[in-house]
Amino acid sequence: MKSFIQLLIFICFIFIFNSCDKDEDVSSGNASNITVTVDGKKHVFNTIQVSVYENDLFVSREFWARIDNKPNRVISFSMTDYPDSLEHRFIYSQDGKHYTRGMQGTYLNSHFTKNSATQLVGTFSGKLYDLDRDSVSLENGTIHIIY
């Protein structure tokens, strides 16, 4: 009986420590999300992952956002900060199709009000195209990521 109680206590401790793991969801405990209207329908991307690479020449950050951690809709973008400029890449993926800047000269318009080592806040809108020249319209996009 004593062994059974010790085993039960051990299992409870394992459950408690695993259920409180902070690394499972970057956005837990803060209001990180990306909200955007895609072809007239509003979506909130609430699962955010961030990766940072830094050296003497630049700082590069990669962001991935999903809706409830599901793979069918993904926003991925990178921002590379150079001493005198900022470069970014943006891809919207939906059901296996990947949309990015169009060959027709259209671009995604973006404006960032906060761009720091721990936070990214801004807005975006525009039209993106896949390789077949199908397009998606992104409107009223907001980014609020704390990492």
DSSP string, 106-118: ---EEEEEEE-SS
pLDDT at 53: 92
Cα angle for residues 7, 13, 17 (degrees, 5° grid): 150
Model pLDDT, residue 73: 96
Confidence label for 119 from pLDDT (cuts 50, 70 and 90): very high
pTM of the model as a whole:
0.74
